[in-house]
Homo-oligomer: A and B are copies of this chain.
Amino acid sequence: MNKVQATIITIGDELLIGQVIDTNSAFIAQELNKIGIQVLQRIAIADDEQAIFKTLNNAFNDSEIILLTGGLGPTADDITKPTLCKYFGGEMIVHQPTLDFVQYLFENVFKKPMIERNTKQAEVPSSCQVIMNEKGTAPAMLFEKNNKICIAMPGVPFEMKWIIREKVIPLLQEKFITGFIEHKTLLTAGIGESFLAEHIIDWEKNLPANLKLAYLPKFGMIRLRLSGYGNNKEELHNSIQTEFEKLKHLVKKYLVVDEDVPIELAIAQLLQKHSKTLVLAESCTGGLIASAFTNHAGASNIFNGGVVCYSNFSKNKILQVPNEILNTVGAVSKETVELLAANVLQLLNSDYAIAVSGIMGPDGGTQEKPVGFVWIAVANKKEIRAKSFQFRYDRERNMQHTMVTALNMLRELIVSDCEK
């Protein structure tokens, strides 16, 4: 098939000193993949004319499409615009519709006076076709060269996302006839990568040539992504669907969800399906689990709230864990997490509760309860299940593993409860 290939270039010194994590590239790659455009490479370079020239030259050799973000701001370190003007030719000119829009934004939205520097946002190379940015002051710009295209966009994720979705994707769909790509993803928990690979080896070996499996391990879960390429959309879909069903059957015991969604969203969907609600008592994860749920729109349908009981005082005051328990078996104990789960469930009159308490590190470990030791309880109105775990990572990873493990325990409880 005729694969259209793209290069994503992100420009900014901050990317090369590691001060900023590049999330733009991942978003752009996702959107391109959905319409069957393959991303060949993602390159991050400095705000540097020579680097931009060289990278553009290389990218034009490899790719039909170059998508570029960053360095379009109004400050002195933002050199992308004049550099593109030099590369593609022409001179800097004022783009009147953009100037009008910038003026409109300052008058009606920002309600601040405009300064000279803001006016500069409306200047573009005469060699480009302007793509209006309705979410900000810096417009996007399209350049053509040898029937290949380069689109430069601002690096602010909010603006870039809007431009990609509303402007760039429709434009690319129209300009490039592409084959089809389809991905199907599922999430497993409770089995290691090697063992999972061994478990499905015969199936994987016999996959049709246009299908490919990838293993994406993260925090004790493994995401399996089955990808296919083809010119016939329906054939591709049927082939990938058939193999995906076989895979689902093979990994049934470990299957969290058969979609590409995070585990907390899979659980929110499960709760919503059964019209159940969740509450939390988080000690060692300190709000991480609550935040994971509320990060998604519609969380209020299933999430009633919770207590971040980070201190013993809060465990006692809000969730009635007796001080004699906290002072004897301690905050990291079966007794404590069971009481936290039962009491937060009752306090907020809900269907399910999670409670966690542990030592996330780097400090606070003892011989008996070392860093990474955690008690997790999940509860409904009839049953409490509590288990201890020993993770062996750094603070962030211990927290993530605690969350994932707690969510998987909750999933098992809901399934045994509602889907038996």
Contacts and interface: CB of A to CB of B under 8 A. Distances in A.
Contact of A290 (B16, B117, B197, B286): B286
A401 to B, nearest CB: 11
* Contact count band on A: 35 or more
A212 B195 CA distance: 51
A75 B216 CA distance: 10
A271 to B, nearest CB: 14
Contacts of A214: 13-14, 47, 77
A40 interface: yes
Nearest to A225: B19
A117 to B, nearest CB: 5
Which of A18, A280, A289, A306 is packed against the most chain B CB atoms within 10 Å? Answer: A18
Which of A25, A303, A308, A318 is packed against the most chain B CB atoms within 10 Å? Answer: A308
Interface in A204-234: 204, 212-218, 223, 225, 227
Given A14-B225, A29-B17, A30-B17, A117 B22 contact: no
Given A30-B19, A290-B290, A348-B313, A74 B197 contact: yes
A18 B181 CA distance: 14
Contacts of A362: 297
A420 interface: no
Contact of A317 (B13, B33, B227, B347): B347
A310 B306 CA distance: 8
A20 interface: yes
Interface string A172-207: 000000000001010000001111011000001000
Contact of A291 (B29, B76, B77, B286): B286
A212 B77 contact: yes
A373 interface: no
Nearest to A309: B305
A204 to B, nearest CB: 7
20 contacts: A13-B227, A17-B225, A19-B30, A19-B225, A41-B51, A42-B44, A75-B215, A77-B213, A115-B198, A117-B198, A286-B294, A287-B291, A287-B294, A295-B395, A300-B311, A305-B310, A307-B308, A308-B308, A317-B347, A318-B318
Given A18-B27, A22-B22, A25-B44, 8 more contacts: A15-B26, A17-B227, A74-B193, A77-B215, A117-B197, A118-B194, A287-B293, A306-B308
